[in-house]
Each structure stands twice: as C-alpha cells, then as structure tokens.
Structure 1
Amino acid sequence: MGIVSERTESHIQVVTVDYPPVNALPVRGWFELAEAVTRAGQDPDVHVVVLRAAGRGFNAGVDIKEIQRSAGYEALVGANRGCHAAFGAVYDCAVPVVAAVHGFCLGGGVGLVGNADVVVAADDATFGVPEVERGALGAATHLARLVPQHLMRALYFTARTVTAAELHEFGSVYRVVPRAELDEAAVDVARDIAAKDPRVIRAAKEALNGIDTQHVHRSYRFEQGFTFELNLLGASDEARQAFLDGKATG
C-alpha cells in the first residue's frame, strides 16, 4: 500500500498509487507521490513516466477523514501543500507523464490528470471536481485544461462528472479503451515516446511548459487561498462532516 515506483521495461517508469479503498490520499501520500514522480524525471535513464492507480478508481482526492480527525488546520495545510507538490511534480517532471485513468477521477485526481502530458482512460472512467460539495475550492485550474471554459464552470458549480468518452471528444483524453486494456494502452503510448531521442523529448517538455498560456502553480495556489478562507468561516468543516455523516448512513 502507498506509492510504488518501478521500471517495468526499458526507459519507462511506472508510478502506481495504491491507497485502498478509494485512493483518497493522506498528506503523506501526496508528498510521496510528488517525490516518486520527481525522482523518476531526474533519472537520465527514464524517458517517460506512466502514472496509474490500483483498486476501484484512479483517485478520490484528499483523505477527508484525516482532515476531520486533525485538531486545528495542520492536516488541511498539509493536504493543500501536498496536492500542490504532487500536481506540480507531474507538470514539472523533466519527461512526459502519461496518466492511465480508470473508474473515478475526482478532485485531486483531476489535478494530477490535468497536469499530465497525455491521458489514456478506461471506458469506465469519470472525471469531476466535487469541491463545492466538500466546502473547498481547487483543481478548477486543472479541469480547465481538460474541458472548455463554460463547461468547466458548469461542472464545477454542479459538481457533476464527465465521462472519458466526452473528454475524448475534446481531445484531452488521447485514447479510451476497455478497462482490461488500459495498462497496455498507456504503456504503448509511453513506448512510442520512449523510443524518441530523450534529449529532444526533455527539451520539448520544457519548451511546451514554457509556452503554456496558464501559470498552473500560481493559479492553483490562488484557488487554495479561498479554501482556507472557507475553513476559517466554518463552511468547509460543516460540508466535510455532512459528507462523512452521509456516507455513514447512506
């Protein structure tokens, strides 16, 4: 359980998130993920990283139970900083990151996928940012990289999800495949990238980030400021507890 990083074949590093039951990451998990992705990109023998997950879904965001158990704001600040580190590690990774998404991809999962370079998804994958129902804000920065502006706003305000097939129509999901074929499809894309001259690919990653129209680090931190404000007002704590109480009785 945790973050597993392994070289599955020449020049391809596979980073797997495994935090059962739903891959809702604790503070430590976000930082471990950031470290694994960064370390992979720093290895000159790695040409591409595949980011995947074990279990029922790709990612369910932060561990709300951990935040509710914590006195004060230590866990909240840790989750904010951990998410910022993990999302940033994917975006800043020196080599391309291919995200392999199955099942649910929520909140922090969208943060990871939105900052990935290529997204391959299973046909059961759904994407959403339920933050407004949890008393938080965040990952609109990354959702906006997956869908057009007005759809992003509609998804954000309603907290509804969008399917992999819908994202494929926008071009943000590169391929949609049956669940059983997901890992191989993601590695197949990775092989294509890994076969290129790594000097050129690393330069291309840096160049593409350099011409990006959106400053993802600053934009996401701006969103997080409102999350902390909502916590000071008490709105976030009430929403998180209502969510947990609903899960317990639902």
Structure 2
Amino acid sequence: MTNAHLGKGTMMEPKYFEVAVDAGIATVTMCREPVNAQNTAFRQRCIEVFDNLSDRDDVRVIILTGQGKAFSAGADLTDRPDLETPGAYRRHNRTIRDCFDAILTCPKPVIAAINGPAIAAGFVLASVCDIMICSESSWISMPEVAVGLAGGVRHVLRHFSQSDARLAMFTGRRISGPELLRMNVASACVPDAELLPAATSLAAEIAKNAPLAVAAAKRSFAVSEEMSVHTGYSFEQSQTANLARSEDCAEAVAAFAQKRSPEFHGR
C-alpha cells in the first residue's frame, strides 16, 4: 500500500519521492522527472524520508529505486551555489553530505535497486545503501573529470578495487550492470523486469530476522569499517552481549527449542 504520510504531520510531494510500505518493507521511489536529478529540495526531501523511515516500527528494510528509465542522473547542474556568496558552497556541500548520511546512517538495511543510469551523485546515492542490485540495462558513470570536477572518490573506493576505482574516476566511462556484478560492486544483476521483485524478495529475507540484531549488525559495519580487526571485533562482541539480553533473543532460543518460526517484535 502506498503511504503519502511518512510520519505524523509529514506529507511528501510526489514530484520528489513516493513511499510504499508493506510487510515491513518500505519501497522508496525517486520521482523527480525526467531523470531524478538531485537539487537542494530533492536532498532535503531525501533526508526527511529516511529520517522518518528510520523511526518507523513498521519498517524493517528499505528499497531505494528510481521512477522511469533512470535511477538518478546525479546533481542538478542548474542548482549550483553562487561562488560569490560567502558560505554558499559550504551550505551546499553540507546538504549533500547530510543527504547521503541519512541513508548511510539509517538503522534499517537499505537496498539500492539500480534500474537505469546512476551517474556521479546518482551512483553515490546507490553506494551509500547497504546492498546494490542492478538491472541488466543499468549503468553507472563518474564523469566529473569531463567537466573539471572530481567528486565521489571516497565513496567509489568503498566498493571498487583500487585499480577499478581509478579507472572509473579517471575515465568517466560507463560501467554496465553486468560489469558491476563482475567487479563485485553489485550483489546481483537481473533482467530489467525482475529487478523490483528480486529486491523485494531480498528485503523479505532480511525482514524476517530479528530487527534489533539486524540493526546491530549494520551499526557494527558502520563503526568498524575504519577500525583494526581486533578493535572492530571487540565492538561487535559488545553488540552481541547487549542483544543476548533482548526479548527477541529469548524468543529465538524458545522457537528453536520448540521447532517453530520465531516471532520478533524488536524488543
């Protein structure tokens, strides 16, 4: 079912995002015609969407995809800051970071269903999701060098090998969905018509697990990414120790003993 309301007192304009929630899965569809280009208003809406979904008890997993033939063509170049206005570029950059961080720090797993071109900031939007799957006709590109810019390096480096990251950034070439799978950037590449069903099936697989445990696992990924193995694993163990006291953990133990499926409530 489609939810216009993302939270109490919050209404989304359909020209930016559409949100549907069903069986614990929120499908977020970017719908800023014609190619889901990102301007300031788009980014502010994105922050609002993910902040609201982060706090909704009826949402366990989120799918992010694009309406039409594009995932996102990246930044709207008609919405650039005035270089002569003090502080304008700082505010502009902060909004961009906050938009990506709203997804990156969302406690619910986010699946990027890349349905078409994901260009520059469009690919970064996909890269801050937890899992990327793509359609066979999709492609990504980081073409900033062709227009005298060089953004996105750190996010590209999180998903590509050192050589492939430089190839993507230095050439700006298109990298197809099948190539993303071969490069181990995407977890799956499926026929176009199967993309959303595949993303929904994956989301359902995640949603059936204990929500507190899934959130703790995501937190461990985020916190330990830049840590040493020892420090990162120690943090992960602290998460597990806390989870052991949860009602969901007790329910999982009881369900195993009784040979039934557990019923998790996020407590």
TM range (shorter): 0.7 to 0.9
- 2:178 match: secondary structure: helix
Does 2:20 align with 1:6? yes
Alignment partner, residue 28 of structure 1: 41
How many Å apart are 1:171 and its aligned residue? Answer: 2.4
Equivalent position amino acid for 1:167 in 2: L
How many Å apart are 1:44 and its aligned residue? Answer: 2.2
How many Å apart are 1:52 and its aligned residue? Answer: 0.8
CA displacement, residues 84-123 of structure 1 (integer Å, 9 cap, x when unaligned):
1121111101011000002110111121111111111000
Q: Distance in 1 between matches of 2:89 and 2:137?
A: 31
How many Å apart are 1:157 and its aligned residue? Answer: 1.2
Equivalent residues of 1:100, 1:120 under 8 A apart:
yes
Question: Judging changes above 3 Å, is the alpha-carbon distance between structure 1 residues 31 and 149 closer, same or farther for their aligned structure 2 residues?
Answer: same
CA displacement, residues 164-213 of structure 1 (integer Å, 9 cap, x when unaligned):
21121232211111111111111111110001110110111111111113
The root-mean-square deviation of aligned C-alpha atoms, in Å, is 1.8
Alignment partner, residue 208 of structure 1: 221
CA displacement, residues 15-70 of structure 1 (integer Å, 9 cap, x when unaligned):
111111111111110121122112212212211111111012101111102228x6
Q: Distance in 2 between matches of 1:14 and 1:6?
A: 5
Equivalent position amino acid for 2:17 in 1: I
Q: Distance in 2 between matches of 1:151 and 1:71?
A: 33
Does 2:125 align with 1:108? no
Does 2:199 align with 1:186? yes
- 1:52 match: secondary structure: strand
- 1:65 match: secondary structure: coil
Q: 1:160 aligns with which of 158, 168, 173?
A: 173
Equivalent position amino acid for 2:111 in 1: V
Q: Distance in 1 between matches of 2:191 and 2:95?
A: 32
Q: Distance in 2 between matches of 1:25 and 1:152?
A: 23
Equivalent residues of 1:14, 1:51 under 8 A apart:
yes
How many Å apart are 1:146 and its aligned residue? Answer: 2.2
Question: Judging changes above 3 Å, is the alpha-carbon distance between structure 1 residues 101 and 130 closer, same or farther for their aligned structure 2 residues?
Answer: same
Equivalent residues of 1:38, 1:93 under 8 A apart:
yes
Between Structure 1 and Structure 2, the one with more helix by share is: 1
Normalising by the residue count of structure 1, what TM-score does the alignment of the two structures yield?
0.79
- 1:119 match: secondary structure: strand
Residues 65-144 of structure 1 aligned to structure 2 (within 5 Å): 65-67=78-80, 72=84, 76-144=89-157
Q: 2:76 aligns with which of 63, 67, 72?
A: 63
Q: Distance in 1 between matches of 2:25 and 2:222?
A: 21
Equivalent position amino acid for 2:47 in 1: A
- 1:15 match: secondary structure: strand
User: Any runs of at least 4 consecutive aligned residues in structure 1 with deviations exceeding 3 A, and if so which?
Assistant: 70-79
Does 2:62 align with 1:49? yes
Q: Distance in 2 between matches of 1:144 and 1:113?
A: 13
Equivalent residues of 2:75, 2:122 under 8 A apart:
no
Q: Highest relative contact order (Cα 8 Å, sep 6+), 1 or 2?
A: 1
Q: Distance in 2 between matches of 1:18 and 1:58?
A: 9
Q: Distance in 2 between matches of 1:131 and 1:77?
A: 19
Q: Distance in 1 between matches of 2:50 and 2:97?
A: 13
